[in-house]
C-alpha cells in the first residue's frame, strides 16, 4: 500500500501537479547589419548658414516697406526705404557744384592755351626787336600761371566729383536691400517709424530678419567622451520632431575644435550635419529653422554578420537559449553593438533561438518553456537580417 501511495504521488506530481511550461518570446540569431553609433547628449537644432539680422546703415523715417514676413526675395531687392529728401537735395546741389567746377576748369584751361599762343607770337616779335624782352617774360609768366590755374580747376572738379560720389553713397544707404536670396522671417518696424544705426558697443535690435531656407544644417551637442571618435565625413541619421517616424540621411561637416564648458551642464562638443538631398529616394521636405532634431552618428558598420537584438542580452554578455524546450544559459562573445542589435562573434550559431524578453520571474536557466507567438507573429521573424536596423 505504501508503495502504491508513493507511486500515485509521483504520478500526480509529474502530471496533474507538474509545473506548466513558461511561455517565452524568442528571436533567432540571423545575419544582418550592425552599427556602432553615438547620439547627441541633448536636442539639436535645425539652423541655417545664412541668417541675417538687418538694419539700415543710417537713421531715418521709414517711408516704404516692399516685402512683408514670409515673402521670398532675391539678392539686391529693396526691402524698405527711408525718407531720402535731404539726401536728394544735397545730391542735386553737389551735382550743380560739379557742373560749375567743370565749367571753371574749361575756362581756366582755355585762358592758359590763349596765354601760350600769345607767348609764341611774342617770341617771334622779340627776335625781330619789336617786342622787348621784359614783355616776353611777363607773357611767359602769365602762361605758367594759366597752367597752374587750369590744374587747380581740374583738382576742384575731382573734389566735386568725390562729393557727388559720397552723397550718392549716402542716398543708397536709405534703401535696405537683401544680401542674398531668402525669406523675410521677421519684420519689427512699420511705415512712419524711425530707425537709428547702432552706436559702438550698444547693439540696436534689427528691423528685418532674413534667412536662406536652402542653407539648412543641423547643430547638435555631442558628449565630450565621444568627441575623439567623431570625424567630418561620417554618415549620420537625423530624426526631426516635426516629422515623426521619418529619418533623414546626412553627413558630419564640422566638429567644433573645442569642448563647450558651460556651468551646470555636461560638457559637449558641437557638430554640424548637412542633410542629403534625398533619403531612400524621397526628397527632404522643407524644414523650419529652430526645429528640434536628434543626430545619430554612424561610427562603424559591419554588414552581413551574425546578430541578435541587444535586449536579448543578459548582464555579462550571456543569453538564454532554448534547447529541447528547456532554457540554457550561454556565454557569448560580442562585437559591435548598439541599442537595437549586437554582433555575435562566438557562442551561438545562425538559426538558434534565444529568449527575447524577461517579463516573468520564471524565465531562468533550467526552466521548461513553450515558445509564444506575440500578436500572431512567429518569434523567429523578429530578428531576421533585413529589418530593425538602427
The residue extents of the domains of the chain are 21-36+303-383, 39-47+214-300, 51-82+174-211, 85-172
Position 78 confidence tier, pLDDT thresholds 50, 70, 90 = very high
Position 294 confidence tier, pLDDT thresholds 50, 70, 90 = very high
On the 0-12 / 13-18 / 19+ scale of CB atoms within 10 A, 32 is buried
Does 379 have pLDDT greater than 50?
Answer: no
Position 164 confidence tier, pLDDT thresholds 50, 70, 90 = very high
% of the chain with per-residue pLDDT over 90: 34
- Mean per-residue pLDDT for 226-234? 90
% of the chain with per-residue pLDDT over 70: 86
Q: What pLDDT does residue 355 have?
A: 86
- Which range has the top average pLDDT, 203-212, 216-225, 261-270? 216-225
Domain spanning 51-82+174-211, CATH architecture: Beta Barrel (2.40)
Does 77 have pLDDT greater than 90?
Answer: yes
Q: Which residue has the higher pLDDT, 371 or 39?
A: 39
**Homologous superfamily of domain range 39-47+214-300:** Efflux pump adaptor protein, beta barrel domain (2.40.30.170)
Does 192 have pLDDT greater than 50?
Answer: yes
Does 240 have pLDDT greater than 70?
Answer: yes
Does 62 have pLDDT greater than 90?
Answer: yes
CA–CA dist 150, 217 (Å, integer): 62
Position 265 confidence tier, pLDDT thresholds 50, 70, 90 = low
- Mean per-residue pLDDT for 51-78? 90
Q: Which residue has the higher pLDDT, 273 or 362?
A: 273
Q: What pLDDT does residue 199 have?
A: 66
CA–CA dist 94, 159 (Å, integer): 10
CA–CA dist 121, 133 (Å, integer): 13
Q: What pLDDT does residue 385 have?
A: 37
* DSSP collapsed to 3 states, 258-284: CCECCCCCCCEEEEEEEECCEECCEEC
- Which range has the top average pLDDT, 18-32, 54-68, 195-209, 284-298? 54-68
| The CA-based dihedral angle spanning residues 287, 291, 294, 295, taken in that order and rounded to the nearest 10 degrees | 50
Helix ranges restricted to H, the chain:
2-14, 85-127, 133-172
Does 118 have pLDDT greater than 90?
Answer: no
- Mean per-residue pLDDT for 23-31? 86
**21-36+303-383 sits in which CATH class?**
mainly beta
Q: What pLDDT does residue 389 have?
A: 38
- Segment 319-360, tens digit of pLDDT: 988 887 888 888 999 998 888 899 999 988 898 888 888 877
CA–CA dist 41, 262 (Å, integer): 14
Q: What pLDDT does residue 387 have?
A: 40
CA–CA dist 206, 188 (Å, integer): 8
Does 108 have pLDDT greater than 60?
Answer: yes
- 236 bridge partner residues: 250, 297
- Segment 311-324, tens digit of pLDDT: 889 888 899 888 87
- Mean per-residue pLDDT for 30-49? 89
Q: pTM of the entire structure?
A: 0.61
Amino acid at each position: 500500500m505504501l508503495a502504491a501511495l508513493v507511486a500515485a504521488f509521483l504520478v500526480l506530481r509529474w502530471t496533474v501537479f507538474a509545473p506548466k511550461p513558461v511561455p517565452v518570446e524568442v528571436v533567432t540569431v540571423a545575419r544582418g547589419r550592425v552599427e556602432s553609433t553615438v547620439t547627441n547628449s541633448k536636442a539639436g537644432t535645425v539652423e541655417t548658414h545664412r541668417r541675417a539680422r538687418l538694419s539700415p546703415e543710417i537713421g531715418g523715417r521709414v517711408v516704404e516697406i516692399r516685402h512683408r514676413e514670409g515673402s521670398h526675395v532675391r539678392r539686391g531687392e529693396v526691402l524698405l526705404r527711408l525718407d531720402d529728401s535731404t539726401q536728394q537735395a544735397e545730391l542735386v546741389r553737389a551735382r550743380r557744384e560739379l557742373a560749375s567746377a567743370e565749367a571753371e576748369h574749361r575756362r581756366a584751361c582755355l585762358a592758359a592755351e590763349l596765354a601760350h599762343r600769345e607767348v609764341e607770337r611774342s617770341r617771334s616779335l622779340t627776335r625781330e626787336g619789336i617786342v622787348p624782352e621784359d614783355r616776353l617774360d611777363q607773357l611767359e609768366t602769365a602762361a605758367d600761371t594759366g597752367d597752374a590755374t587750369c590744374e587747380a580747376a581740374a583738382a576742384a572738379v575731382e573734389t566735386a566729383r568725390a562729393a557727388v560720389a559720397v552723397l550718392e553713397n549716402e542716398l543708397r544707404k536709405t534703401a535696405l536691400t537683401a544680401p542674398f536670396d531668402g525669406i523675410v522671417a521677421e519684420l519689427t518696424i512699420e511705415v512712419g517709424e524711425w530707425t537709428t544705426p547702432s552706436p559702438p558697443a550698444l547693439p540696436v535690435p534689427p528691423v528685418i530678419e532674413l534667412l536662406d531656407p536652402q542653407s539648412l544644417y543641423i547643430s547638435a551637442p555631442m558628449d565630450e567622451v565621444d568627441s575623439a571618435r567623431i570625424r567630418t565625413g561620417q554618415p549620420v541619421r537625423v530624426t526631426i520632431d516635426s516629422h515623426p517616424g521619418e529619418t533623414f540621411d546626412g553627413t558630419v561637416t564640422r566638429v567644433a575644435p573645442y569642448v563647450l564648458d558651460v556651468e551646470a551642464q555636461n560638457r559637449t562638443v558641437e557638430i554640424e550635419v548637412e542633410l542629403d538631398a534625398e533619403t531612400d529616394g524621397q526628397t527632404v521636405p522643407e524644414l523650419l529653422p529652430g526645429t528640434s532634431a536628434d543626430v545619430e552618428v554612424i561610427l562603424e558598420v559591419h554588414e552581413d554578420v551574425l546578430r541578435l537584438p541587444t535586449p536579448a542580452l543578459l548582464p555579462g554578455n550571456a543569453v538564454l537559449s532554448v534547447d529541447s524546450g528547456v532554457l540554457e544559459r550561454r556565454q557569448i562573445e560580442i562585437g559591435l553593438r548598439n541599442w537595437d542589435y549586437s554582433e555575435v562573434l562566438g557562442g551561438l550559431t545562425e538559426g538558434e533561438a534565444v529568449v527575447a524578453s524577461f517579463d516573468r520571474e520564471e524565465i531562468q536557466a533550467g526552466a521548461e518553456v513553450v515558445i509564444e507567438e506575440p500578436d500572431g507573429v512567429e518569434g523567429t521573424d523578429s530578428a531576421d537580417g533585413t529589418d530593425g536596423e538602427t
